[in-house]
């Protein structure tokens, strides 16, 4: 007992003396610190954003075109199912966006990485837009399928609450004047929110099953044919790349606004 | 650590009881919302019983929103909060003590007043213990979660509407299980499941929310 304790203490001391130092000197940390430098990020992010934008737009366009025109007609839903090619990628990105914000938020809180803070702030409007798009397309899809624009179905309700979570982050960012503390507050809020997302989802599901039986029978879910699935995957990947592009671009804008008094930003504008 | 907890709790409770008027305001707000509601829906007992879970829980949520704005504000304005942040004692413990004091001074009143109000709405007497239990388990969670939002909006002069946007989405699980337990009790169904889930949410809140509150306070004080 005493020996193991002694050994573990020795190990901790060793880590403190060498381990952390070695880690800090590792290439990854160097890269991270370099990438974390704001002028460097500003320079590098432009080609990266363009590299995301071009394939993103092409893939999304191909996916949407393939879905709207080429994919075969669904045997149950006719042509109405085609809205899926916009609805599903948007819904996927609404969750992906919030999760990535929360991860960046945790990074921002723990390591005080400025770029992670800016990511949280920049991704919020993009994610909110996709959430809104998912809700609107879902509603339009629901009208011919379910006969109503809105159902208090578990998924719809949690998607709506997710939109409110996004709007909360945006509103908080707008309300706090100091950009640094606004970004850190948003980081914390998104971390708190992401813990709640699964709880909210399961509680809404529980509520719905308790509250009313399935009055709207969902259509059966047949395995998708490749001709239908292929454009959907392309659209999802394309939308994701576009999410990255738009967020990165918004990060650049936020960065300039936040660092407008620094020398390197003034230099960017005097050179331009 | 425990001594700090008790000291903060004692101080806040003492301050709360020096201003007994505010305590009465909480009660009056609750009574007024419930009393005005039948004027809007009509006094048909079947309607009132059906909407009573939503009514009770929504008025609790609104009351929490209104009262939470003052949770850290006085301490923020007179500099006490700065001393809390600077002190070597863990801020999370202080935050937990403050939330507990807040709940004893406001949430507990709802629990104690609820039997009277639900009987006013025509809810069967047999459902009252479950309703009180659901409020007892649910209202502290509202305080814990809401305190995160209040701490984040501390530096803003008027945060009321913003605060509702921040914390109402997070209140959804408590609303669902709290009102669900109440509805089950009114319909004579077993409500234990919902109460257990409320208790689970409370445990999760007690174990994690103080750290988030502490982090939020530090961000707001920067």
ipTM: 0.88
Tell me the pLDDT tens digit for each residue of A141-173. Answer: 877 777 777 777 777 888 899 999 999 999 999
Q: Reduced to 3 states, what is the DSSP secondary structure of residue A74?
A: strand
Helix (H), strand (E) counts: chain A: 10, 0
The pTM (predicted TM-score) of the whole model is: 0.84
The residues in A 64-123 lying below 8 A from B, measured between CB atoms, are: 109
Q: Is B195 exposed, middle or buried (0-12, 13-18, 19+ CB in 10 A)?
A: buried
**Total domain count, chain B:** 1
pLDDT digits (tens, 9 = 90+) for B34-90: 888 888 888 788 888 888 999 999 999 999 988 888 899 889 989 899 999 998 989
For residue A266, how far is the Cα from the chain centroid?
Answer: 31
Q: Determine the Cα–Cα distance for residues B191 and B138; give it in Å rounded to an integer.
A: 14
Burial of A154 (0-12, 13-18, 19+ CB in 10 A): middle
Domain boundaries, chain A: 51-216+224-271
Question: What is the helix (H) or strand (E) element at residue B41, kind and residue range?
Answer: helix B20-41
Report the sign of the C-alpha dihedral through residues A171, A177, A183, A189, in that order: negative
Cα–Cα–Cα angle for B138, B139, B142, nearest 5°? 95
Chain A: residue nearest B166 by CA? A168
Chain A CB contacts of B184 below 8 Å: 210
**Residue A211: closest C-alpha in chain B:** B180
Q: From A191, which residue of chain B is nearest by alpha-carbon distance?
A: B212
Q: How sure is the predictor about A225, in pLDDT bands with cuts at 50, 70 and 90?
A: low
Shortest distance, CA A168 to any CA of chain B (angstroms): 5
- What pLDDT score does B69 carry? 86
pLDDT over threshold 50, residue B102: yes
> Do residues A255 and A118 lie in contact, with contact meaning Cβ atoms separated by under 8 Å?
yes
């Amino acid at each position: 007992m005493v020996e193991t304790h002694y050994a573990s203490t020795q190990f901790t001391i060793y880590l403190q003396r060498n381990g952390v130092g070695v880690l800090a000197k590792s290439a990854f940390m160097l890269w991270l610190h370099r990438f974390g430098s704001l002028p460097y990020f500003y320079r590098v992010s432009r080609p990266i954003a363009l590299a995301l934008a071009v394939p993103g737009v092409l893939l999304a366009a191909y996916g949407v075109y393939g879905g709207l025109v080429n994919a075969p007609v669904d045997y149950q839903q006719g042509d109405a199912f085609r809205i899926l090619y916009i609805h599903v990628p948007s819904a996927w990105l609404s969750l992906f966006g919030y999760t990535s914000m929360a991860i960046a938020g945790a990074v921002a809180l723990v390591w005080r990485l400025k770029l992670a803070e800016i990511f949280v702030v920049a991704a919020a409007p993009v994610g909110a837009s996709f959430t809104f798009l998912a809700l609107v397309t879902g509603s339009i899809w629901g009208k011919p399928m379910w006969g109503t624009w809105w159902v208090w179905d578990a998924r719809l309700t949690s998607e709506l609450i997710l939109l409110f979570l996004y709007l909360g982050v945006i509103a908080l960012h707008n309300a706090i004047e100091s950009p640094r503390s606004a970004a850190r507050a948003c980081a914390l809020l998104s971390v708190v929110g992401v813990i709640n997302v699964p709880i909210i989802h399961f509680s809404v599901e529980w509520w719905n099953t308790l509250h009313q039986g399935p009055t709207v029978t969902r259509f059966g879910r047949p395995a998708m044919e490749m001709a239908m699935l292929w454009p959907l995957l392309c659209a999802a990947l394309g939308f994701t790349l576009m999410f990255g592009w738009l967020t990165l671009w918004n990060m650049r804008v936020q960065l300039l606004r936040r660092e407008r008094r620094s020398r390197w930003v003034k230099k960017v504008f005097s050179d331009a | 650590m425990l001594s700090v907890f008790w000291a903060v709790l004692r101080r806040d409770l003492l301050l709360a009881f020096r201003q007994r008027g505010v305590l009465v305001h909480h009660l009056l707000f609750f009574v007024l919302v419930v009393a005005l509601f039948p004027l809007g829906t009509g006094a048909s007992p079947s309607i009132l019983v059906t909407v009573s879970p939503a009514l009770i829980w929504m008025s609790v949520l609104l009351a929490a929103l209104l009262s939470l704005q003052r949770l850290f504000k006085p301490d923020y304005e007179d500099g006490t909060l700065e001393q809390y942040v600077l002190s070597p004692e863990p801020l999370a413990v202080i935050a937990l003590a403050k939330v507990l004091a807040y709940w004893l001074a406001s949430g507990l009143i709802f629990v104690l007043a609820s039997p009277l109000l639900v009987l006013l709405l025509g809810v069967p007497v047999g459902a009252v213990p479950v309703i009180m239990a659901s409020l007892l388990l649910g209202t502290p969670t509202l305080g814990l979660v809401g305190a995160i939002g209040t701490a984040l909006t501390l530096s803003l002069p008027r945060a009321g509407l913003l605060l509702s946007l921040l914390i109402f989405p997070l209140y959804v699980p408590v609303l669902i299980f709290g009102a669900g337990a109440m509805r089950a009790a009114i319909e004579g169904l077993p409500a234990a499941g919902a109460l257990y889930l409320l208790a689970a949410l409370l445990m999760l809140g007690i174990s994690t929310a103080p750290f988030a509150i502490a982090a939020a306070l530090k961000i707001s004080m920067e």
